[in-house]
Amino acid sequence: MSTFAHAGPSAHRLSAPDGPGNAATPVRVYLAPGRLYASAEDAQVTTILGSCVAVCIWDAQAQVGGLNHFLLPSGRPASPRFGDSAIALLIGRLLELGAHRGRLSAKVFGGACVLEAFRADEWSLGARNVEIAREQLAAASIPVVGEDVGGDLGRKLVFHVRTGAAWVRAIEMKG
């Protein structure tokens, strides 16, 4: 079972397993900005990040995980677009899918300052997004076990929801 947050095309399934019973092939999903994805299926989720941040959270024992892709540190109404609510929304979905709060772990990605004009500002949008992610995870008592944040390059992220494995590649953002 998998869930997408927010109405509209929140994520796009790129492929399905090769028939019934083939657990070796994960479902491939593309996650658009401002959305979240949570699943108990074997899924590989890809997203592209610049100043946005993706927080990946999973319970390895329950083999449940997910991620969000938020654009701004805060905003109203509560939405996966905003870091101050995106993390709580993701945690809620994971708990609904059978995760146990005490077993959750997190990884944080993104938060680059891809526009040269803003690189002198230590509190760029990307830096503020990373800070809110860390604050929200600390408040939820979820340990951050890995991160790749900041800098001036975008990132392509591929996250495996059941295992918490992540692959990240730096990419030049064209503007």
What would the pLDDT profile of 130-170 be if each residue is shown by its tens digit?
999 999 999 999 999 999 999 989 999 999 999 999 999 99
User: Is residue 4 in some structural domain?
Assistant: no
Q: What is the 3-state secondary structure (H, E, C) of 81-124?
A: CEHHHHHHHHHHHHHHCCCCHHHCEEEEEECCCCCHHHCCCCCC
| Better-predicted residue by pLDDT, 175 or 30 | 30
The neighbour count for residue 175, using CB atoms within 10 Å, is: 7
User: Is residue 5 in some structural domain?
Assistant: no
Distance CA 76, CA 47 (A): 24
DSSP assignment letter at 173: P
Residues 6 or more apart from 7 whose CB is under 8 A from it?
Answer: none
Greatest distance between any 2 Cα atoms in the chain: 53
Convert the pLDDT of each residue in 24-35 to its tens digit: 688 999 999 999
pLDDT of residue 108: 98
User: Is residue 34 in some structural domain?
Assistant: yes
User: Is residue 38 in some structural domain?
Assistant: yes
For a pLDDT cut of 70, what percent of the chain falls above it?
Answer: 79
Range of the domain at 91: 29-171
* Structure confidence at residue 124 as a pLDDT band (50, 70, 90): confident
Q: What is the 3-state secondary structure (H, E, C) of 121-145?
A: CCCCHHHHHHHHHHHHHHHCCCCEE
Label residue 140 exposed, middle or buried (CB < 10 Å: 0-12, 13-18, 19+).
middle
User: Is residue 106 in some structural domain?
Assistant: yes
Q: What is the 3-state secondary structure (H, E, C) of 10-79?
A: CEEEEECCCCCCCCCCCEEEEECCCEEEEECCCEEEEEEECCCEEEEEEECCCCEEEEEEECECCCCCCC
Is cis: bond before 77, omega within 30 of 0? yes
Residue positions counted in the chain: 175
User: Is residue 139 in some structural domain?
Assistant: yes
Convert the pLDDT of each residue in 39-51 to its tens digit: 999 999 999 999 9
Number of domains in the chain: 1
Label residue 133 exposed, middle or buried (CB < 10 Å: 0-12, 13-18, 19+).
buried
User: Is residue 23 in some structural domain?
Assistant: no
User: Is residue 3 in some structural domain?
Assistant: no
CATH number of the CATH domain containing 111: 3.30.1330.200
pLDDT of residue 17: 44
pLDDT of residue 25: 85
Mean pLDDT of 124-128: 91
